[in-house]
Amino acid sequence: MKKPVFTGSAVAIITPFLADGGINYDALGKILEDQIAGGTDAVVICGTTGEASTLGDAEHMDAVAYTIKTVAGRIPVIAGTGSNDTAHAIAFSKQAEALGADAVLLVTPYYNKTSQAGLVAHYTAIANSISLPCILYNVPGRTGVNIAPATLAELAKLPNINAVKEASGNIAQVAEIAALCGEELNIYSGNDDQIVPMLALGAKGVISVLANVAPRQTHDICALWAAGKTQESLALQLQMMPLCKALFADVNPIPVKWAMNHLGYAAGPCRLPLVEPSPAVQQRLAEALEILR
């Protein structure tokens, strides 16, 4: 059995920006402290929600270093180090390990894509370059490539391929992964609207956008399930569904960043090419956020 990097809710944290485009570290520090106080079980820095695709290499690693220093071992810090260039992903992963990250999150190669054999070669090369646990990130809606369950079963033979963040939205595929991989691969939900269904299939928790605005509730969905309070967990999942849906009414992280600003955090703007949500989406978000008051 592979020990999970975390159980429960990991926040896929936003990267707050200043008006001049730089990272707002004061705001990031406040968000991190509030996440820990709110019960979040781990933090993912520089993932999709953190706008990693528009971070330069130096500021990407600066954000990882700042997060590790601020969290100071209170909860695990998972660094997004994935790339569609295997050599780049290896370099990032080595730097994250040297900085003291607890694990790395590795998105599938995007745009150039690859075959299933290519995925095995890509992830094997990265895993063999570091000793940290590797969480693979399957999000075919963004990358155009899906990690097949049989491919995950092959990769799970590597000792530090620890988990998969499954954001395909395909519950049947998640069931097949669980059946094929068993205790050799931990599963995390990558979709906030599917936390309970995936927990029912043996997932260890969620890597969550929702947790940015609702850390306690997202933690509690997982904690209640783990405690055997499945009906309470389900009820909370269903209660959060309108907010889950509103947070994906535009391309992530456009809605969640607007929501964080609305809640009083200095989240700042998204970097281009991402722009402000439409007035209709803003109204939908504001109404959905009322459940938190």
Question: Residue 58, class by beta-carbon neighbours within 10 Å (0-12 exposed, 13-18 middle, 19+ buried)?
Answer: exposed
Which pLDDT score is estimated for 293? Answer: 85
CB atoms within 10 A of CB 235: 14
Residue 154 confidence (pLDDT): 98
pLDDT, one tens digit for every residue, the chain (293 residues): 899 999 999 999 999 999 999 999 999 999 999 999 999 999 999 999 999 999 999 999 999 999 999 999 999 999 999 999 999 999 999 999 999 999 999 999 999 999 999 999 999 999 999 999 999 999 999 999 999 999 999 999 999 999 999 999 999 999 999 999 999 999 999 999 999 999 999 999 999 999 999 999 999 999 999 999 999 999 999 999 999 999 999 999 999 999 999 999 999 999 999 999 999 999 999 999 999 98
Instruction: Tell me the pTM.
Output: 0.97
Domains and CATH numbers, the chain: 8-230 (3.20.20.70)
Provide the greatest CA pair distance for the chain.
49
Residue positions counted in the chain: 293
Instruction: State the amino acid at position 36 in one-letter form.
Output: I
Angle ∠(18,24,28) on CA atoms, nearest 5:
140
Angstrom distance (rounded) from CA 11 to CA 45? 8
CB distance 170 to 144 below 8 Å: no
Q: Is 52 left (phi over 0), alpha (psi -120 to 50) or beta?
A: alpha
Catalytic amino acids? Answer: 137, 165
| 111 in Cβ contact with 140 (< 8 Å) | no
Q: Alpha-carbon distance 247 to 11, whole Å?
A: 14
Q: What does 82-102 look like in DSSP terms, one character per residue?
A: --SSHHHHHHHHHHHHHHT-S
Q: Which long-range contacts (CB under 8 A, 24 or more apart) does 141-146 make?
A: 141/167, 141/168, 141/169, 142/48, 142/107, 142/110, 143/107, 143/108, 143/109, 143/110, 143/111, 143/113, 144/110, 144/111, 144/113, 145/108, 145/109, 145/110, 145/113, 145/114, 145/119, 146/108, 146/173
- How many Cα atoms are found within 13 Å in the side-chain-facing hemisphere of 213? 29
Element (H, E) at 152: helix 149-155
